[in-house]
């Protein structure tokens, strides 16, 4: 379960990061559409966002410093959820651009509840990994003790080493 | 008895020693692994950040240094261009029908509109049945990075109209339209295009650089965006969007045969 959570969250970050970085113009428009950042910060955030997502995805995929990466993942998701919630509350008609795309759309095409629910789901995966960062096939496992987790109920005994 | 005891103690000592050596090795091995992991992580991160920033910057600046492709004019003899404020009228003066086209040089749907209907519009302009009043608007002025391409290009197109080259200039800008969210074309590139479509009057470059018609364009845009007769429902309730076409004071639905309907 933990391994699935790790690889699942890794896939989420890698896919969304890759889609965003492949279309920088659209990502810029998407960030701008949230209408929270001053003009000067839109481009830096539009550049950094996909890179952060890709980095988180790679670290999760490798299973390196899983707990910290999970904490960052949950924090980033919290920021994204807050950004979506504020545009919902303000009545903006936008697509979150969470997986590429994004920008202004017709008001009957907004999907705020679904977008937030989806991000909450991803955040839950992150929380699981914060509580139980030890998983199969991870760099953490290779580094810490050679013992692989026995099962889902494995408790993080390598805690003291960190 | 003494010998056996000594042997046992010795064995124990050896075991202890072996264990501590193994432990020491294990720790050293772990450290080495950690160094490897951290090094790999740092290298990957650095590559990602450097590569990502370079890629994104070059992608959004893809219009840098590009020469906008000049289109050869396709207007028939007798078709004239006349600028009146922020509106450019193209057609033969005797044409009975008139349409108004509201567009933005950065708007992708406007580019599609041009691709779909330019041929039909041009045909009727050239045979003298139709006049087109072009309103180039800075609706998406914030949508380029740096902002301002919509207004710069609209201004330059009016300056091109003064030299009788609006349509060629207009067609070239839509053909090579920059991507939303990226760098547009700067004034130097717009001036170069003007020269390439055959504008020799030095006043053109001056007008582009000074933004001679910016105020007129902004004023016109404000009026147009607030005009209830130009509003359509794009899904957010009535609002103004580009492209919008009107004929006889009515917004035209852009169906396949709308040009035919307007001229007949």
At B124-162, the pLDDT tens digits run 999 999 999 999 999 999 999 899 999 999 999 999 999
* Domain B80-263 part of CATH 3.40.30.10: yes
B236 touches chain A (CB under 8 A): yes
3-class DSSP assignment, residue B235: coil
- How does residue A129 score in pLDDT terms, banded at 50, 70 and 90? very high
Minimum mean pLDDT among A5-19, A101-115, B192-206, B212-226: which range?
A101-115
Residue with the larger pLDDT of the pair B6 and B206: B206
B143 touches chain A (CB under 8 A): yes
Q: Say which residues have a Cβ less than 8 Å from residue B81's Cβ, sequence separation at least 6.
A: B88, B89, B90, B161, B164, B165, B166, B167
Instruction: Confirm if B180 and A25 have CB atoms less than 8 A apart.
Output: yes
Is B56 close to A47, i.e. CB distance below 8 A?
A: yes
Residue of A nearest to B184 (CA): A25
Average pLDDT over residues A110-115: 91
Is B48 close to A143, i.e. CB distance below 8 A?
A: no
Minimum mean pLDDT among A25-39, B74-88, B230-244: which range?
B230-244
Sequence length of chain A is 162
Average pLDDT over residues B251-262: 90
pTM: 0.80
State how far the Cα of B35 lies from the Cα of B15, in Å rounded to an integer.
Answer: 30
- How does residue A93 score in pLDDT terms, banded at 50, 70 and 90? confident
- Rounded to a whole number, what is the distance in Å from the CA of B157 to chain A's nearest CA? 24
Residue with the larger pLDDT of the pair A158 and A81: A81
Residue B20 confidence (pLDDT) above 60: no
- How does residue B31 score in pLDDT terms, banded at 50, 70 and 90? confident
Residue with the larger pLDDT of the pair A130 and A97: A130
Q: What single-letter DSSP state applies at residue B230?
A: G
Q: Which residues of A touch B147 (CB under 8 A)?
A: 39
Q: What single-letter DSSP state applies at residue B242?
A: S
pLDDT on residue B2? 58
Q: Which residues of B touch A43 (CB under 8 A)?
A: 60, 145
pLDDT on residue A146? 43
Is B182 close to A32, i.e. CB distance below 8 A?
A: no
Domain boundaries, chain B: 1-60, 80-263
pLDDT on residue A161? 39
Minimum mean pLDDT among B27-31, B230-234, B251-255: which range?
B27-31
3-class DSSP assignment, residue B228: helix
Residue B51 confidence (pLDDT) above 70: yes
State how far the Cα of B252 lies from the Cα of B95, in Å rounded to an integer.
Answer: 19
Residue A110 confidence (pLDDT) above 90: no
Q: Which residues of B touch A144 (CB under 8 A)?
A: 30
Q: Which residues of B touch A28 (CB under 8 A)?
A: 60, 145, 181-182
Complex prediction ipTM? 0.77
- How does residue B123 score in pLDDT terms, banded at 50, 70 and 90? very high
Report how many Cβ contacts below 8 Å link chain A to chain B.
76
- Rounded to a whole number, what is the distance in Å from the CA of A157 to chain B's nearest CA? 16
Q: Which residues of B touch A32 (CB under 8 A)?
A: 142-143, 181
pLDDT on residue B23? 56
Q: Which residues of B touch A27 (CB under 8 A)?
A: 181
Strands A103-104 and B80-84: unpaired
Q: Say which residues have a Cβ less than 8 Å from residue A83's Cβ, sequence separation at least 6.
A: A34, A36, A96
Phi and psi based region of residue A27 (left: phi greater than 0; alpha: psi -120 to 50; beta: remaining): alpha
């Amino acid at each position: 379960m933990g391994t699935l959570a790790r690889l699942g969250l890794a896939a989420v970050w890698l896919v969304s990061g890759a889609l965003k970085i492949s279309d920088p113009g659209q990502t810029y428009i998407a960030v701008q559409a949230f209408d929270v950042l001053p003009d000067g910060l839109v481009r830096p955030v539009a550049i950094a966002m996909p890179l952060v997502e890709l980095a988180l995805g790679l670290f999760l995929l490798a299973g390196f410093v899983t707990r910290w990466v999970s904490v960052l993942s949950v924090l980033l998701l919290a920021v994204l959820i807050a950004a979506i919630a504020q545009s919902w509350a303000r009545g903006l008609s936008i697509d979150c651009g969470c997986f590429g795309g994004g920008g202004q759309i017709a008001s009957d095409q907004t999907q705020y509840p679904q977008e937030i629910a989806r991000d909450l789901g991803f955040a839950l995966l992150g929380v699981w990994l914060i509580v139980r960062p030890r998983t199969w096939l991870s760099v953490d496992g290779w580094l810490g003790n050679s013992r692989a987790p026995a099962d889902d109920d494995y408790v993080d005994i390598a805690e003291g080493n960190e | 008895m003494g010998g056996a005891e000594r042997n046992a103690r010795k064995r124990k000592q050896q075991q202890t020693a072996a264990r501590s050596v193994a432990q020491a090795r294990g720790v050293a091995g772990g450290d080495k692994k950690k160094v490897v992991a951290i090094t790999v992580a740092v290298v990957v991160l650095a590559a990602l950040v450097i590569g990502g920033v370079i890629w994104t910057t070059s992608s959004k600046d893809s219009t840098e240094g590009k020469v906008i492709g000049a289109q050869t004019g396709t207007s028939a003899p007798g078709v004239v261009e006349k600028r009146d404020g922020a509106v450019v009228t193209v057609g033969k003066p005797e044409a009975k029908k008139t349409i108004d086209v509201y567009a933005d040089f950065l708007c992708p749907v406007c580019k599609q509109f041009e691709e779909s209907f330019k041929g039909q519009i041009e045909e009727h302009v050239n045979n003298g049945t139709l006049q087109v009043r072009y309103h180039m608007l800075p609706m998406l002025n914030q949508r380029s990075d740096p902002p301002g391409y919509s207004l710069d290009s609209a201004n330059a197109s009016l300056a091109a109209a003064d030299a009788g080259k609006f349509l060629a200039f207009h067609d070239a800008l839509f053909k090579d339209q920059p991507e939303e969210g990226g760098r547009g074309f700067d004034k130097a590139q717009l001036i170069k295009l003007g020269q390439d479509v055959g504008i020799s009057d030095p006043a053109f470059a001056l007008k582009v650089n000074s933004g001679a018609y910016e105020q007129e364009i902004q004023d016109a845009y404000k009026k147009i965006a607030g005009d209830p007769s130009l509003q359509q429902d794009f899904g957010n309730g009535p609002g103004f969007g580009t492209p919008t076409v009107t004929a006889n004071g009515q917004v035209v639905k852009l169906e396949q045969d709308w040009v035919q309907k307007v001229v007949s």
